[in-house]
Homo-oligomer: A and B are copies of this chain.
Amino acid sequence: MGIDRRLSRLAHGLIHMSQHEGVATSQSIAKMFGTNPVVVRRMMAGLRKDGIVGSQKGHGGGWMLTKKLENISLLDIHQALGNSNLVSINLTNEQPQCLVVQAVNDALEKSIIEAKTLLYKRFAEISLADIAGSFENKKQNLTENQKTALCPSSQS
């Protein structure tokens, strides 16, 4: 499987979006990720499909949140991105009639499903508001000077 940074990038982007008035353009979001507006649109399209964000075309357009941070879980974002594998171990599909293969795949699948289930559970428990909250806590320990240098990419 590839190196999937979409979940972490989107969580980052959505939290910054909630801290600004008005819409955010694909361009401004792309700056946070050091990437291209088209990459942002591709990721956001999945979120829009699931009602997490909305988009507005034309002059003054862009992206806006259509849910509150506390109602967006990491699982919501993960699922909006389409079901990826999550665990990168696959079962053999050769010799499916072989009882050894079946026993091996059964054992692997049970363990993998357990791990996936736990990860889904944790992702469902964590909302973007939770994450933003832990961020606010950290921020209160900084001086005013440090605050202005927090995330340059979110300020343009």
A129 to chain B, nearest CB (A): 11
Identify which of A44-52, A59-67, A90-98 touches chain B. Answer: A90-98
Q: A-side binding surface: helix, strand, loop or mixed?
A: helix
B126 touching A122 by the CB < 8 A rule? no
A131 / chain B contacts, CB cutoff of 8 Å: 100, 103-104, 107
Q: A1-B3, A2-B1, A150-B98 are in contact. Are A9 and B92 (CB under 8 A)?
A: yes
Q: What are 30 A-B pairs with beta-carbon distances under 8 A?
A: A1-B2, A3-B88, A4-B90, A5-B90, A7-B89, A7-B108, A8-B91, A8-B105, A11-B107, A12-B104, A15-B100, A15-B104, A32-B98, A34-B94, A86-B88, A87-B88, A88-B88, A95-B151, A97-B149, A97-B151, A98-B153, A99-B135, A99-B138, A100-B135, A103-B132, A107-B130, A111-B122, A114-B118, A115-B116, A115-B118
